[in-house]
A = this chain, B = another copy of it.
Amino acid sequence: MKLKVYADRLSQPSRAVIIFCKVNGIDFEEIEVKLANREQHSPEFKDINPMAKVPAIVDGRLKLFESHAILTYLSCAFPGVADHWYPNDLLKRAKIHSVLDWHHSNLRLGTVKYVFNHKLAPVVGLPLNPEAAAKGKKILSSSLSKIESFWLKGSGRFLVGSNQPSIADLSLVCETMQLELLDEEDRIGLMGPHKKVQQWIESTKNATRPHFDEVHEVLFKVKENLQKQQSLGASSGSSSSSNTTLH
């Protein structure tokens, strides 16, 4: 039975899992769980993941959620996956676990908190929350600095000094792509000071093309819609965000 991947391409961890499967030639079926329609709360999906979050997979009798756990599992379960994604070497693997664990309460927390409270909340009918956004932006900024100064230290093009991408690069770069939803000036303000981070994102894109671009198409469509709504709102003088929809 073919691997099933339950995902919404607007979710950054969903994109990481889909890109990973495509890059590694893993035969899978993608099942869309539309977050905008709250499909993650359907009884059918909660039977796969009772936490009501995407992505999740079903592989034979295994039901699994949490994207890092999924990427780790796929790296080991599918023999065609090249070693650099999740190295057998104990020390390299330990460092990858370290950056993946760090991700949760740093880059991920900051990105989600900032982008949601500063930009996306009205899309699901909630008000923007400047205080929460400010907290998120602080965590996000500090996380980008740490990637620049620590995780990308050394001569390697990828995280923890590697010359080839790992599941950590894919996971964290998909996270940074969420910043595309911000206003251009804001995004440049955040990313501008971090030259190594910018190069690393480009290197990860290059290593996973054309799949990276294809899987991110939907994100850029949403970006376009947000911009249209915003300029319409600006010209009519009304707030646009409450009319923005994800699809």
User: Which A residues contact B (CB, under 8 angstroms)?
Assistant: 50-51, 61-62, 64-69, 72-73, 76-77, 90-91, 93-95, 97-98, 100-102, 104-105, 109, 146, 149-150
Contacts and interface: CB of A to CB of B under 8 A. Distances in A.
Given A50-B150, A66-B98, A73-B94, 20 more contacts: A50-B149, A51-B146, A62-B94, A64-B94, A64-B95, A65-B98, A66-B97, A66-B102, A67-B101, A68-B97, A69-B94, A69-B100, A72-B94, A72-B97, A76-B90, A77-B90, A101-B104, A104-B104, A104-B105, A105-B105
B101 A69 contact: yes
Q: How many copies does the complex hold?
A: 2
A106 to B, nearest CB: 8
- Top 7 closest A-B pairs, CB basis? A104-B104, A69-B97, A66-B101, A69-B98, A73-B94, A66-B98, A68-B101
Nearest to A106: B51
Nearest to A73: B94
Contacts of A69: 94, 97-98, 100-101
A58 B27 CA distance: 40
A137 B76 CA distance: 37
A109 B108 CA distance: 13
B98 A64 contact: yes
A146 B101 contact: no
21 contacts: A50-B149, A50-B150, A51-B102, A51-B146, A51-B150, A61-B91, A64-B98, A65-B102, A66-B97, A66-B101, A66-B102, A67-B101, A68-B97, A68-B101, A69-B97, A69-B101, A72-B94, A72-B97, A73-B90, A76-B90, A76-B93
